[in-house]
Structure formats: C-alpha cells, structure tokens
Amino acid sequence: MEKSGNKKIVMSGIRSTGFLHLGNYFGAIRNYVRMQDEYECYFMVADLHSLTTHPETKELKINVHRVLAENIACGLDPNQAALYCQSHVPETSELYLLLNMLAYKGELEKTTTFKDKVRLHPNNVNAGLLTYPVLQTADILLHRASLVPVGKDQEQHLEMARNFVNRFNHRYGEIFPEPYAFNFGEDLIKVPGLDGTGKMSKSENQYATIYLSDDDELIRRKIMKAKTDSGPTPTNTEKPDYIENLFLLMFLVSEKNTIEKFEADFNNCTIRYGDMKKQLAEDMVKFVSPIRERAESIRNDEQFLKRIMEQGAEKARKSAGATMELVRQAMGLNY
C-alpha cells in the first residue's frame, strides 16, 4: 500500500563510517540528486548501522557531519528531500524490533555482506551485524518507500526486504509496498577499486579508493599507481579486469570522445596506459575538486548542519509516525 498522493517514495542511507568515495557517489548520491525533484525523498545518515562494525563512537559526530556535508556538496537539497540522521527517528528501533520476529536466523547467516563482515571482524560478530538487513528494511518501510537508490552490493538486502514485506503483509495485512533497488537508466553500479580487486569502500581498501575529499595530487598519485601491463595483443582482445576497471572509471568521469579514443587505441594495440591514466587523473580531479571544496566550506558549520538534521528528522518522524500507527493497528497492538 503506497501513501496517498501520486509521488513515489524514495529512501536510502549511507553509513557514517568515514570518508565518502566515488562508489557512494555513483552508486547512491548521484541518484538521490536526480530523484529529489520528482519523488518524495528520505535520505539519512545511518549512524546506528555504523555501530555494527564501528563500536568506538569518538569519531561518530565528525563522521555524521562529514556525510551530511558531502551529500549537500554533491547537490542534495535539504529543502526538497528530508535529510536526517537515523537515530533521530526512534520509530526506527520499534519497527526493527517487530520485523526481527519475521526474520529467520538461517537466511540472515547466509547474507553475503554478513559473511564478508564476519571474515573482516571475526572478534565482533554481534547480533546487530546479523540483523543488519532487518534494520535496513525498517529504515525503508518506515516511509513505505518503493524505490531505494543503492549500489549493486545492496541488491541482496533489497531482496530480503521484499521477503520481510511479504511475510508482514501476508500475516498482518497489506501495509507495505515491495521496495526495489534503483539506479537511473542503467543496471545497478559497482565502482571497482583501483587495485583491480573488490570495490571502492569507506573503511577498507583505502589506497584503491578515491574519496570525495582527496586533494588533486593524491587523486593523481592513486590513479598513476593503478595496475596496468605492457599492453594488449592481439588486436580486439578481451580486457583484463584491472584494465576494464580503468575504462569503467573513465566512463564515469570522462568525455565520450576521450573514452572512444582509448577504446580504439586498446583495440588496435596502440594504447599507452600511462597516457590513459594521466587523462583519467585529470578528468577525475576536474570532477572531484568542486565537490571537495563545497564540502569543506559546509563541514565546519555545525549550526547549519544541526538545523538541516532537525528539519529532516521532523519530516521523517511525521512519516514514520503515520506508518507506525498503521503497523500497530494491523498487528493488533492497539489495546
């Protein structure tokens, strides 16, 4: 059941675990910015999700402020979309608890992101980590959202969210629409790391990741260090992964004719990877530096960020409150 009114509802979030990077931008934020005019949008800083892997909270405030500032610097308008902090909407925890009764241990243990995190943090396999997809589902369902702009790594979580929705609706009545991962126009995106393996990420893989706060020199250095080889033979051969990844990055930030030139050079075996990386580095600097500069000017304005968060939370709580009324009614928690 969608909310009244014609606009579809959009919800997504980014964890406050460090510096935002190109993966966050192209997987998520670019879509947020494009969607904000057309849809009813809720975007949040997922501070509670951060606690599953980052129990130390000394850096939390600065990270929350950074994520907010970087979202705004990328073009998000807090007067259009509700931009808020997850813990400022306490209904989140109530719905999370109720949905936990519909989530089975077996399916949670099979989640790819859970298995990855267990490998990375073997000494902190906490229940919050296990139930991460349930909390994420609560975030989405609180607004009865049907579109969730996210990167490819989140596809399985959305599939689980649909399972939880169907179980809830089947048992208690049709309250929620099925949420789907969304990316404008194309398939969901995975921005690869510069080392040819894995994806760009906030907290792992730091030299292989380009952050929106990297200065020009650091961006150039990271790209020039990316793995290449002595060049393709024979003509029109398949690209190895690490070269494919460089083209993928070029596809995100460079002009069409630049990409076509290097594609042609690759196919007729005349490509010079040094030249390609120099071009990619310059295009990347041109893309990242205005965002970095805007974010720097916002990040330290605590008053402004606080006001944005309060305004966003007020909107989000209103939507969450209405949903929780329906949930309590449907479940018979209304005595």
Hunting for tokens 């939390």 — which residue is that? 60
Near ligand ADP in 201-220, by CB under 6 A: 201-203
Nearer to ligand ADP, 98 or 253 (CB): 253
In the residue annotation, 202 being an active-site residue is answered as: yes
Which of 199, 222, 277, 315 does the annotation list as catalytic? Answer: 199
28 binds ligand ADP (CB under 6 A): yes
Output the smallest distance, CB 196 to ligand ADP, in A: 14
Q: What's the rounded Cα separation, in Å, for the pair 231 and 275? A: 12
Q: Contacting ligand ADP (CB under 6 A), which of 15, 30, 220, 277?
A: 15
200 binds ligand ADP (CB under 6 A): yes
Do 22 and 90 form a contact (C-beta atoms < 8 A)? no
Angstrom distances, CA of residue 128 to CA of 61, 171, 232, 237: 20, 25, 47, 46
Q: Terminal CA-to-CA distance of the chain, rounded, Å? A: 24
Neighbours of 332 (CB within 10 A): 8
* Window of 193-201, 214-222, 228-236, 283-291 that interacts with ligand ADP by CB under 6 A: 193-201
Near ligand ADP in 146-185, by CB under 6 A: 150-151, 153-154
3-state SS class at 199: strand
Give, in degrees to the nearest 5, the angle at Cα 107 between 101 and 113.
110
Task: Spell out the alpha helix ranges (H) of the chain.
Answer: 22-24, 30-35, 47-50, 60-73, 91-100, 105-109, 112-120, 127-130, 132-141, 155-172, 216-224, 241-253, 256-267, 273-299, 302-331
Angstrom distances, CA of residue 123 to CA of 53, 114, 126, 308: 11, 14, 9, 37
Nearer to ligand ADP, 193 or 232 (CB): 193
Q: What's the rounded Cα separation, in Å, for the pair 205 and 128? A: 23
Nearer to ligand ADP, 22 or 98 (CB): 22
- Cα 289–chain centre separation: 20
Which of 7, 190, 202, 315 does the annotation list as catalytic? Answer: 202
Output the smallest distance, CB 312 to ligand ADP, in A: 17
Nearer to ligand ADP, 146 or 324 (CB): 146
Nearer to ligand ADP, 180 or 328 (CB): 180
136 binds ligand ADP (CB under 6 A): no
In the residue annotation, 199 being an active-site residue is answered as: yes
Near ligand ADP in 29-68, by CB under 6 A: none
Do 49 and 202 form a contact (C-beta atoms < 8 A)? no
Judged by CB under 6 A, how many residues of this single chain contact ligand ADP?
A: 20
Q: What's the rounded Cα separation, in Å, for the pair 45 and 20? A: 12
Q: What's the rounded Cα separation, in Å, for the pair 166 and 173? A: 10
Nearer to ligand ADP, 199 or 277 (CB): 199
Do 98 and 320 form a contact (C-beta atoms < 8 A)? no
Near ligand ADP in 235-264, by CB under 6 A: none
Which of 105, 117, 152, 261 does the annotation list as catalytic? Answer: 117
* Window of 26-34, 91-99, 127-135, 301-309 that interacts with ligand ADP by CB under 6 A: 26-34
Q: Contacting ligand ADP (CB under 6 A), which of 9, 10, 17, 147?
A: 17
Q: Contacting ligand ADP (CB under 6 A), which of 9, 11, 24, 63?
A: 24
Just list the catalytic residues: 117, 199, 202
Which residues contribute to the site for ligand ADP (CB under 6 A)? 14-15, 17, 23-24, 26-28, 150-151, 153-154, 189-191, 199-203
